[in-house]
Structure 1
Amino acid sequence: MRRNKKERTALKTISIAIDGPSGAGKSTLAKSVSKTLGYLYVDTGAIYRTIGYAAFSKGVDPKDGEAAAALLPELEIGLHYGEDGLQHMTLNGADVTDQIRLPEISLYASAVSAHPAVRAHLLEMQRKLARENNVVMDGRDIGTVVLPDATVKIFLTASVEERAMRRFRELEQRGTPESYEKVLEEMRQRDYNDSHRAAAPLKQAEDAVLLDTTELDFRQSEEAILRIIRERTSR
């Protein structure tokens, strides 16, 4: 039974934080897990990708913190779920769901997300969703910064070679192929950027469960995540 907003906020909601490096399968797994549990799925990476895409579209250097911050007042970012059940992102009224997944936008997203002004701008938006709904939220600092009191925290990872191969296959399926060597190089660069940024660097929360999926397929990975969630929420 769907509860109204007032009823939901009066109850203690459950929040699942899934963090990890690029290409670990966070979004795909979080989306599937949220559907199984009947929770709201929030792809925070897509929100940062939308800002990265805005910088890309306007020719703004994503590493320039002042320029990135100056963009924010001009941006109207929307998140909604379409009839396909997928999270769609809009930028100033235009659906940019497909555009933000282009390979070059990954590095733009990584760069803009390093700026404190950008992270502060989006923080309350993410926390409000968790206050009002049971959520599965994935990103790089959900368990450490966005939702430090999350009910369950999982740090999802895999070897960089495996993550690059997964992304390589994904790009092929989307019809935007890149060489494996280029994907691997960009993956390593993003890992470095995300873990060395001054604002909310990628790291495992002290109370997060580490799950390495290098040797696991999708079904095994999903079962492992659900098992962790059920164990932690039944305590």
Structure 2
Amino acid sequence: MNTNTINIAIDGPAGAGKSTIAKRLAKKLGYIYVDTGAMYRAMAYYFLQKGIESSDEAAIANACKDVDVTIAYEGNEQQVILNGENITGFIRTEQVGNMASATSVYPVVRTKLVELQRQLAKKENVIMDGRDIGTCVLPDANVKIYLTASSRTRALRRYEELKAKGEDCELDVIEKDIIDRDYRDMHRETSPLKQAEDAVLLDSSDLNIDEVVDAIMKIYEGKMEKE
């Protein structure tokens, strides 16, 4: 157990609401929120900018040497910095998301980012969300949550999000992408998505954001009382 800082790990499939929940919790507790997905998206954005195919592992491994990804905060808002440039506004597209899912399977990509994530967790009280935080990145996290929801629920949330932005999209296509991404994440060779043995399973299909935050706060408070 990490005795110097408190670490909370939230894992789960794409679209389960991990980032939204983690941000709310971080604000409530005064912890640093580390969006690991944004870091993988930053790498993916770099590969796309360089015209590298997701299947070209050698080119990706070579490109990783030239990538520096950092997280900064301005006015309590997280900024993602790639090689000195703020790319926060460019990494939330479906294209970048799919590239991140496809390239995160490569050990060289994961090794580079995991090192940075662990350094942050040693220095600060953090809430980190991703696919393998409780199993691989922070195996000694004080609190571990596995947050999930049905594929239809997750697709509906994404559909409404995209429609609100004025983007044209189809619910069935979004759900198929989510199911495909789940399969890739759960069957990848390196650090597959799975629930850590000591993680608490939380299904958010029938819960709103506030209800999920309250549920995790109760789990957190219970764990802290025992320590």
Between 124-133 and 178-187, the greater mean CA deviation after superposition: 178-187
AA in 2 matched with 1:135: V
Instruction: State which of 105, 116, 119 in structure 1 corresponds to 2:107.
Output: 116
Contact 1:16 1:151 (8 Å CA) reproduced = yes
Task: Give the Å deviation of 1:77.
Answer: 1.5
Q: Distance in 1 between matches of 2:165 and 2:77?
A: 16
Partner of residue 135 from structure 1, selected from 116, 126, 129: 126
- Provide Cα deviations, 1:188-208, integer angstroms capped at 9, x if missing partner: 111111001100000000000
What RMSD, in angstroms, separates the aligned Cα atoms of the two structures?
A: 1.4
Alpha-carbon displacement from aligned partner over 1:31-80 (angstroms, at most 9, x marks no partner): 00010001110000000011111111211112322221111122222211
3-state SS in 2 of match to 1:34: helix
**Cα distance in 1, alignment partners of residues 165 and 47 from structure 2:** 23
What residue identity is the alignment partner of 1:66?
A: A
Distance 2:17 2:207 in 1: 11
Tell me the equivalent position of 2:198.
Answer: 207
Flag as ranges the 4+ runs of structure 1 deviating above 4 A: none
Aligned to 1:95: 86
Residue in 2 aligned with 1:3? Answer: none
The count of residues paired between Structure 1 and Structure 2 equals 225
Which of 43, 59, 73 is the aligned partner of 1:81?
Answer: 73
TM-score when normalising by structure 2: 0.95
**1:69 to 2:55 alignment:** no
Classify the secondary structure of the residue corresponding to 2:141. coil
What is the identity, as a one-letter code, of the residue corresponding to 1:113? S
Amino acid at match of 2:169: E
**Which residue identity is paired with 2:53?**
D
Query: Do structure 1's residue 197 and structure 2's residue 188 form an aligned pair?
Result: yes
Q: Is the 8 A contact 1:168 1:177 kept in 2?
A: no
Aligned residue for 2:29? 37
Structure 1 residue 11: Cα displacement: 6.1
Q: Flag structure 2 segments of 5+ consecutive residues without an equivalent.
A: none
State the percentage of identical aligned residues: 47
In the alignment, the residues of structure 1 paired with residue 39 and residue 156 of structure 2 have an alpha-carbon distance, to the nearest angstrom, of 24
The alpha-carbon deviation at position 183 of structure 1 amounts to 1.1
Indicate conservation of the 8 Å contact 1:159/1:214, yes or no: yes
Displacement of 1:112 in angstroms is: 1.1
User: Once structures 1 and 2 are overlaid, which stretch shifts more, 127-136 or 74-83?
Assistant: 74-83
Contact 1:155–1:208 (Cα < 8 Å) also in 2: yes
Aligned to 2:152: 161
Whole-Å separation in 2 of the counterparts to 1:229 and 1:62: 38
Cα distance between partner residues in 2 of 1:141 and 1:67: 25
Match of 1:6 in 2: none
SS, match of residue 234 in structure 1: helix
Distance 1:183 1:140 in 2: 19
